[in-house]
Each structure stands twice: as C-alpha cells, then as structure tokens.
Amino acid sequence: MDSDRTNSRASSKFLGKVDQKNSGESTAGKIARLPAAEFPNRYSIRDIGGEKVLSCIEAPNITVQIKFGLSVSSAAMNKSSSGTIYLDGVAQNGPLVDNARQIYNFDHHEGCVRAFTLSTCEQVLVMLKKGFDLRGREWRIIANDPDLDTVLAIWLLLNHLRISEQESIREHILLPLIRLEGAIDSLGLELKSLTALPAALINQSQRIIDHLRRKEIRLKKDGKWGEQADFLAYTAGMLHDVDQIMYEPQKFGELLGIEELARVNLPDNRVAVVVQSDMGIYEIEPLIKKIYGSSIGLAILRRTPTAYTLRQIDPFLRGSLEDVYEKLNFLDPAVKCRTQDRWGGSSDIGGSPRDRGTKLTPEEIAKGCQEAFQKYSFVQRALQFFIVAISAIAILAVAEYSATRWHPGKWFNVPSLNALVFDPYLQFRLTLIFLTTIILGAVSHRRLWQFGIISPVGKSWWFNLPFAILAAFAGGAWVPGKPHSYLIPDLGRLLLSITLLTFAAEYLFRGLIHGILAQKSRIQSCTSKFFVSWPNIGTALLYAAFLTLLPFFQNEAFNPFSITLRHGSIYFAAFFFSLLLGSVRERSHSFFSSYLIHLFAVFSVLFLPDLFSYATHVFHLSWPKMPF
C-alpha cells in the first residue's frame, strides 16, 4: 500500500513537472515529451529476405511484420512455422496458446465473446507476467492494423526482458494504461469505469492514450489510414513515444545494444548468433546471456566487416571450436594454407584470419558453425552417396552415348584431322569434361575452391607419387592402349589421349564428386593430421567401380557373369590408387595436384617398362664379355 502511494506521488510529481515545463502546450502533448537524447531510438526497420521488418535492438531475435488488411484462415494458422505470433485479428481463429508448437494468437475478434475477452495488449501482458519466455528462439510477430491496442502489444513483446525483470519500467503508468486501453478497445469509452481504476489514474491514462493516438486519429479523419504508405515507420515512431513514457531515464541503465546479424540452430536446443556491437566479446557476453537465455551456445562478434571473434558460451556443446575453425577454413575463400592467415584460436575463443580477414558473410559464418556441429547419420551419408553415384552414372552414360552415336567428324573435311576427330574415345573424354563443367557450375555456387579448382599448396603431397605408380602398375589407373609404333603422329595422339583421359577422370572424381561429398564431411588439409576422410572413401568406391566396369560397358556383349577375379584385383588396385589421389587432393587443396600424380603414374605404366628394357639392353651390350 505504501508502495502504491509512493508510485502515485512519483507519477503526479512527474506529470506535474512536465505540465509546468510545457505550460503552453495541450495536456495530451505535455505527458510524453522527455528529452529525446535520454532515450535513443531502439527500433529500426531492416530488410530480411526481401521483406521489410521492424526490430528492437534489445530483442534481436524478434521481428515484426505489418501487412494492412492481412487475413489468415484458421487452417493456415495451424500450419504456421514455430515461433509465430499473430496479433489482433490477423488469424481468423479464437485466442490460441500452443506451447508445444509455439504458435500464438492474441486476439479478441474471432471465436470468442468479445465482451468477456481481454484485449490483445492485455493478453500479451498477462502472458509475460506469467513467465512467457521469448529468449529461446526466433519469433515472428504478424499484425495487420497498427492501432494502439496492437502497438502496445508489440511494445510489450519487444520489451519483454525489462518487463519480466521490472527493470526501469514505470509499472504504475504501464499497468493502468494497458488496462484502460483494453477496456476501451473491447467495450468502448462509456464502460471504461469498469476498470475500477481511481479517477486520477483513468484521467492520466486517458491523456496518454489521446497523445499516442493523435496521428492515428488524424489519418483516419482524413481518410488516409488505409493508404498509410509505411506502417512500419509509423509503428517504430509510436514505439519510441511509448519508450519515453514508460521508462525512467535515471534507471534506464545500460542499453542492451546488440544487433543480430544471423542466427542458426545447434544441437540440444542451442543457437549460434552472429552479432554486432561496439563492445568487446567479454563485455557483451552477459548481455547475450540475458537476451538469449540458456539457449545460447556460440556467439560470433563482428568487430569490422572482415574481422570476427568467436566465443563458445556453452562449454557442454557436442563439439568444439576446433571443428568450427576447420569448417570455416574450408568455406572461406580468403584462407590459404598459411598458419597465420586462418580461422583459429583456443577451445573457447578464437577469431577470423588476422592478416587479410575473412570474405565470408555473417550468414555464411553462421551456416558454417551449424554444419560444424551437425552430425550426419549413416542413412544420411548413404543417401548422399547414392545421389552422387546416380549423377556420376548419368554423366558417364551420356559421355559413352556421345562417343558411340555422335560423330562431329562429319562436319570437317580436313583429312589430316580425320584420325583425331573420328576417335570415339576423344569424344567420350571431351563430353565427360563438358558435362562435369555443367554440373560443377550448378552445384558449386561459385565456390570453386571447395571443389579443388585452385592452385596447389604445400609440397608434402609429392611423397604419394611412388605409391601411386605402384598402384597404377597393379591396374589402378586408366591407361590407353600403347601404339604399335612410336611415329610422331601416333605418339601425339597417345599423349593427347593420356592428357585428356587423366584430366577427365580427376575433374569428375577428385573435383566434382569429392567436392560434393566434402560439403557435409570433414577432410584433410595441408596442416592437419593424416586420416582417410569419408569423401575420399566415397570417391574411391565410385572410381574403382567405374574403372572396373568401363571395359564391359564399351563392349556390346556385356555379361555380368564374365567378371573374374582379375577384375576384382583391378577394383582393389583402383580403390587404393584413388585413396592416394584423394589424399593428394585434400592436402594440396587442389585437384590439379592429383591430376599431376595421376598423369605421372600413367606415363610410368606406359613408358617405364620400355625404358627399363632399353637400359637393360644397353647394359648388356656395354658389359664386358667373360673369357669363359
């Protein structure tokens, strides 16, 4: 009771001072005019996915959409995505509180007895006072008419943190205002006495309502309310006016000035957020915990457009920042194989490359963090492998059909080129390269470095060369037939055949297929420990299968029962050969390095035996004959 008297005296003192200070103005205009500098405008309008939304700097996880005249059926409302809040007549349904799906409809129009139902702003206030927590996820508020009832409901939702903690809020002004506006909106002016508020509070709240509605009344009187060009800007201005009435400047405290740039979900109902602030990561950590509650797992602070700090706030996440660094290094086009220009740091805090910074956007960084913590099941990996295998079969089938059915050589009348342009194997390789390029352009999203289209780094991958040569001799490489003679034309066609065949194989398998599989899996890098990655194994399985079966597909009399143990040995040799080339591609970050190793191995198979025979023959000729 003493508290109520104190608040009443404080309110009267506050309003009296304002009245004296602004004695030349109308009563309605005197109430809310506090120094604007004491209340920075916390509301802004931004574009998300091509749609303008309103947000509050202290509630970055909540966005507001206002579409005048919007109406959503009850069936459509029930199919809404989680985290949707409808206000005051948007959804043609009664008031709804669906905590399981987190869909809410604060309304007193449809499906209820209006005289017995609280107004929209009153429903929201009751929910907040009963512990409605808006910190754990993203929320989308949808309204269709920003009258005062709706605007106050939006203000309550965007200021939920300060309301729930009673922080700097003038509740002795807020509660009577919400109660009176609710009664007027539901029952009309003639029944506002049913609020049972003292006459002084009714008069005070009525003056505030008149002040806040002055622009709305003017627009409606002029017949321009439905033609209001920008309801978001109008609502943002109204919210700022409410701020100046509801907050005590001396108790407002520190502004929770954090702008959310991106957000993704992590396992165990945790989230990762990319934010921007003038403060450091340790300064904003308590504010982030306050805004997002226990759901916050990872925070990424943008210090400059190219510099970021990562902080793992929840130490019990199923994963670590080491996984995040590795994923972001894979995604970032600015990262090369240099220890001082990479994402990195400790197990709980780190940052972007130091020298040149990052070229990733906030959305790409958030997505990379999500993928780093994502664990894929065997079924998911099997499905991905199946799709990739079908794509590879389609590419090879079209290339084979082109080699046997399409004859571009008929377009030429150059006898000296006949042997080349009529070669079906040349058509097969060129078609293979062309189709791989088309698919790569469709799936790479211009991130070609993730598919090995980048200059090689490091030199350690050259140590795989001798083992690759041995695997090629065992049958693990695509080797064309050796010409009967070493005439210049025959040798030229052989070199062209080897070059194109090897390039087509590496482009398809170590470029396209490995790159697709690597999007959801961890692979080696030039500085990582040696291990055999899933993309390398998956690529090797496909490479070995196609190398083993390709001769059968080129033979019209294909019989699957004709596969012998020799073909099985070829498969295992090709599998081992492909694993070596995959390791080269991962550690060098480029399929061009695996192409060079593959090329050297094929040349070795073709020419080393002849060189060895020639060297042996020369050795025998030069060795002195023994007297016996």
Both tokens assigned to 50: 């091509």
Cβ-contact 579, 540 below 8 angstroms: yes
Q: Among the residues of 113-230, which ranges form H helices?
A: 120-129, 148-158, 160-164, 171-187, 199-212, 214-221
**Spatial contact of 40 and 255, defined as CB atoms under 8 Å apart:** yes
Give the number of other CB atoms < 10 A from CB of residue 617: 10
Long-range contacts of 32-39 (CB under 8 A, 24+ apart): 32/208, 32/211, 32/212, 32/241, 32/244, 32/245, 33/244, 34/244, 34/249, 35/249, 36/244, 38/249, 38/252, 39/240, 39/243, 39/244, 39/247, 39/249, 39/252
pLDDT above 70 covers what percent of the chain? 80
Q: Quick check: 339 pLDDT over 80?
A: no
pLDDT in tens, 466-512: 999 999 888 888 776 655 455 445 677 778 778 888 999 999 999 99
Under CATH, what is the fold of the domain 259-373?
Diaminopimelate Epimerase; Chain A, domain 1 (3.10.310)
**Is pLDDT at 29 greater than 50 in this prediction?**
no
Q: Which of 309, 410, 405 is nearest to 357 (CA)?
A: 309
Would the pLDDT of 422 be above 60? no
Q: Which residues contact 376 (CB under 8 A, 6 or more apart)?
A: 384, 520, 521
Q: What is the pLDDT of residue 482?
A: 58
Predicted pLDDT at 104: 95
Most confident of 2-11, 252-261, 576-585: 576-585
User: Considering only CA atoms, which of 482, 480, 433 is closest in space to residue 591?
Assistant: 433
Residue 396's pLDDT band, with cuts at 50, 70 and 90, is confident
- Alpha helices, DSSP H, located in 318-421: 321-331, 362-373, 378-405, 418-421
* Mean pLDDT computed over every residue of the chain: 81
Q: Which residues contact 2 (CB under 8 A, 6 or more apart)?
A: none
pTM, full prediction: 0.68
Q: Of 472, 478, 494, give the one whose Cα is nearest residue 608.
A: 472
Distance of CA 114 to the CA centre of its chain: 44
pLDDT-derived band at 30 (thresholds 50, 70, 90) equals: very low
Arithmetic mean of pLDDT, 93-112 = 90
Q: Which of 91, 104, 109 is nearest to 149 (CA)?
A: 109
Q: Is the pLDDT of residue 172 over 60?
A: yes
Q: Report d(CA 362, CA 305) in Å as an integer.
A: 9
Supply the pLDDT for residue 2: 45
Give the span between the Cα atoms of 521 and 461, in whole angstroms.
Answer: 21
Mean pLDDT along residues 211-240: 84
Give me the mean pLDDT over the 431-448 stretch: 90
Cβ neighbourhood burial of 213 (10 Å; 0-12, 13-18, 19+):
middle
Is the per-residue pLDDT at 5 higher than 70?
A: no
What are the C-alpha distances in Å from 212 to residues 33, 125, 234, 515?
11, 19, 11, 58
- Where are the chain's structural domains? 2-251, 259-373, 378-614
Q: Which residue has the higher pLDDT, 442 or 527?
A: 442
Q: Which amino acid is at 153?
A: A
Under DSSP, the state recorded for 509 is: I
pLDDT at residue 191 tops 70? yes
Give the torsion sign (CA, 232, 234, 240, 245).
negative
User: According to the model, what pLDDT value does residue 33 have?
Assistant: 43
Mean pLDDT of 432-440: 91
Q: Which residue has the tokens 């780093």?
A: 372
Residue showing tokens 């009309």: 188
Range of weakest confidence among 188-202, 219-233, 290-304 = 219-233
pLDDT band at 558 (very low <50, low <70, confident <90, very high): very low
Lowest mean pLDDT among 108-112, 227-231, 252-256, 581-585: 252-256
Task: Give the per-residue pLDDT at 407.
Answer: 58
- Tell me: pLDDT of 23 over 50: no
Chain position carrying tokens 């509070």: 201
Confidence (pLDDT) at 347 = 86
- pLDDT > 90? residue 157: yes
Least confident interval from 208-212, 397-401, 415-419: 415-419
Give me Rg for the CA atoms of the chain.
36
Give the pLDDT mean for 510-532.
Answer: 89
Per the model's pLDDT, the better-predicted residue between 451 and 559 turns out to be 451
The secondary element (H helix, E strand) that includes residue 276 is: strand 270-276
| Residue 559: pLDDT over 60 | no
Whether the predicted pLDDT of 27 surpasses 70: no
- H or E element: which one contains 105? strand 103-106
Task: Give the integer Cα–Cα distance in Å for 36 and 27.
Answer: 19
Task: Tell me the range of 195-204, 217-226, 280-289, 557-566 where mean pLDDT is highest.
Answer: 195-204
- Per the DSSP assignment, residues forming a β-bridge with 312 are 298
Q: Give the pLDDT confidence score for residue 310 in this predicted structure.
A: 94
pLDDT grade for 229, boundaries at 50, 70 and 90 = low
